[in-house]
Amino acid sequence: MTRLKVDPTPIAKISADAIIVFIFENEKDDSRYKAIDKKLGGRISSLLKNKKFSGKKLESRVIDSFGKLQTEAVVLVGLGKKSNFSSEVLRQAAAKAASSAASAGAETVALSIEGLSDIPVEELAQSAAEGVILSQYRFTQYRKKGNSAKKGIVKGIFSQLKDAVKVRKAVLTAEKICRGVELARNLQNQPGNVATPSWIARQACTNLRKVGIKCRVLGKREILKLKMGSFWSVAKGSAQEPKFLIMEYMKGPKSQKPVVLVGKGVTFDTGGISIKPSAGMDQMKFDMSGGAAVIGTFYTAGLLKLKKNIAGLVPLTENMPGGKASKPGDIVTASDGQTIEVLNTDAEGRLILADALVYAKKYKPSKVIDLATLTGAIMVALGRHTTGLFSNNQKLAEAVLESGFSTGERCWQFPLWEEYEELIKSKVADVQNIGGRWAGSITAAAFLKQFTDYPWVHLDIAGTADNEKPITPYNAPGGTGIGVRLLIDFLRRNR
C-alpha cells in the first residue's frame, strides 16, 4: 500500500518523481502553483492561455520538467468549476493524478492542498490521501505471468507549510481507513474455490485479532442449536460448512448501547435450485461483499482505536443446488419463530440476514446497519453509482445518508411503507421471501424489516460492491470495498 508523509518543504522544492498540480477550470489565481510555473518558464500558464489545458474536472496532462525542478514530471489535474468543488472532487482528482503519474513511471509523488478551499484542511487532506492510496490498489495474487514491472505509487508526499500537524493526523487516518478498504477488497476478489465460509472466517479472525477485535465463529452445530432455520435453509445445499462470524469491539463507555453491523456473506451464489443463468455467474463471488465491508470496517476501527461499542455479524455460506438444497415452496422457520415460504431460492441473501438480524437483538443495540448485495432490482433503479438505502428510522437514515455523501459512497433513500409489506404476505406462512415483479428492492427490504425491532438501516450494495470498469478513479476492476469508508465516517460522527 502507498505510504504517505507530510513535509514542510515548499512544493516546488520537494524531490519526487512527479509533482501534482491541482487547477480549477478557468482559474485566474495562479498563486498556488506560481513557483512551479516560474521554474518551468511559464509552461503551465501558457497551456492554460492557449486552452491546451482547461482544468475541467478530472482532465489530466503530464508535462516534463526538463530538469528545472527536483522532479521528472509535473501532473496537471483539473478540479472543475470552483463552485462545484467538494472533498469528493479532490479525492477523485488526486486518484486520477496519481494514476497518471504511475502510468508515466513515477513511484513517488508530491502534492499540496494549501489554498484550495475553505473546507477544513483535515477533510481535504484525508480525501486527497484516500484518492492517492485507493487508486493504486490492484489484485494480482494469481497473475504470475504478464504482470507489469511497474510498482505504481509507493510514496506520497504532502507539502504543507501551515497546519502540518492537522494534515499529518488526517493522512494517518486515511492510511488506516484504506487498510480496511484493502482488506475488504482482497476478500472480495478471491475466487469462490478459495474464499469458502471457513476461509473467510479464518482470514477475518486472523486479521482482526491483531488490532484488538474479539472474534467467534459458530459452525453448523451452533447454527442449528440457535434454531437459525432461515440461514440453514440456504446453507444445507452446499458441501461447505456454513459459518456465523461474530465480531465485538467494546471500547466505548459501558453505558453506551452498541451499534451492530451486519453483512451478507454468500461466498458464491448459484441461485440454488432457482439456478442463475451461466453467463456472468462468475461474478457471484462478490455476493459476500457486505460481509467483507463489515470485516474491513472492524479492522479500521481497531487501527483507529475508536472509543465505540460495536458488534458485527456475518452469516457465511454458499448457495448451491445440492441434493439437500431447499426447493421452491419449502417453508422454513427463522430463529424468532416466524415461518417463511421460500418461493425463490435465489432470494437467499434475505434468508441468511433474517437470522442475523434476529441475533442482533441480543446486544440490545442502539442501531443496526446491514449491507448486502441483495437485489438486481437496485441496479435497474440506481445503476452502479449509488447504493440503495431503506430504513425504519428517519433520523438514522439521514445520518447514514450524510456519511455517504461525505465519503463519496453515496446512498439514495427508498420508501418502506406498510403497503409494500402486503406484497410479501404468504398464504401458507407468516411471510414469503419474494414479492413479485414490482419494487423488488423495496419488498426485499420489507422482508428484512420483519426481523427488526430497533432503529435499522439496510444498504443494498448490489450495484456498487464491484465494477468491471472503475466508476471512479480511486477504484480498480473488481471489488470496491464499498461501505468501509461510509461506516467508519458514520461511527466517528455518531454515538
Establish if 86 belongs to a structural domain: yes
Residue 276 shares a structural domain with residue 387: yes
Residue 316 shares a structural domain with residue 393: yes
Residue 133 shares a structural domain with residue 213: no
Contact 368, 263 (CB under 8 A): no
Catalytic residue among 32, 350, 449, 485: 350
Contact 130, 174 (CB under 8 A): yes
Residue 8 shares a structural domain with residue 140: yes
Contact 284, 373 (CB under 8 A): no
Give the span between the Cα atoms of 408 and 490, in whole angstroms: 13
Establish if 350 belongs to a structural domain: yes
Q: C-alpha cell of 471?
A: 466508476
Q: Find, among 149, 115, 146, 111, the residue nearest to 132 by Cα.
A: 111
Establish if 185 belongs to a structural domain: yes
Q: C-alpha cell of 186?
A: 482482497
pTM reported for the whole predicted model: 0.98
The answer to whether residue 91 is catalytic is no
Establish if 74 belongs to a structural domain: yes
Contact 115, 34 (CB under 8 A): no
Q: Find, among 332, 375, 329, the residue nearest to 355 by Cα.
A: 332
Using the 3D structure, point to which of 130, 159, 188 is the last residue of a domain: 159
Residue 256 shares a structural domain with residue 328: yes
CATH number at residue 231: 3.40.630.10
Residue 447 host element (H or E): helix 440-449
Q: Supply the pLDDT for residue 148.
A: 53
* Ordered DSSP codes for 128-176: HHHHHHHHT----TT--SS--S-----EEEEE-SSSHHHHHHHHHHHHH
Residue 308 shares a structural domain with residue 441: yes
249 forms bridges with which residues in the sheet? Answer: 310
Q: Which residues of the chain have pLDDT under 70?
A: 146-150
* Ordered DSSP codes for 256-283: SPPEEEEE-EEEEE--TTSPPPSTTGGG
Catalytic residue among 82, 166, 276, 384: 276
Residue 155 shares a structural domain with residue 233: no
Residue 327 shares a structural domain with residue 234: yes
Residue 191 shares a structural domain with residue 150: no
Cα angle 180, 183, 188; round to 5: 125
Give the span between the Cα atoms of 236 and 195, in whole angstroms: 18
Residue type for 374, please?
L
Establish if 172 belongs to a structural domain: no
Q: Supply the pLDDT for residue 146.
A: 60
Q: Find, among 185, 170, 72, the residue nearest to 128 by Cα.
A: 170
Using the 3D structure, point to which of 109, 131, 159 is the last residue of a domain: 159
Give the number of domains in the chain. 2
The answer to whether residue 276 is catalytic is yes
Establish if 10 belongs to a structural domain: yes
Using the 3D structure, point to which of 108, 131, 159 is the last residue of a domain: 159
Residue 134 shares a structural domain with residue 217: no
Contact 184, 296 (CB under 8 A): yes
Residue 278 shares a structural domain with residue 338: yes
| Residues ≥6 apart with Cβ < 8 Å to 446 | 416, 420, 421, 423, 424, 435
User: Residue 42: how many CB atoms within 10 A of its CB?
Assistant: 11
Q: Supply the pLDDT for residue 150.
A: 64
Residue 102 shares a structural domain with residue 134: yes
Q: Which domain holds residue 481?
A: 179-493
Torsions phi, psi for 446 (to 5 deg):
-65, -35
CATH number at residue 146: 3.40.220.10
Establish if 335 belongs to a structural domain: yes
Establish if 166 belongs to a structural domain: no
Give the span between the Cα atoms of 331 and 186, in whole angstroms: 36
Please report, for residues 85, 187, 215, 218, 248, the alpha-carbon distance to residue 205 in angstroms, rounded to integers and kept in the order given. 40, 13, 6, 12, 11
108 forms bridges with which residues in the sheet? Answer: 155
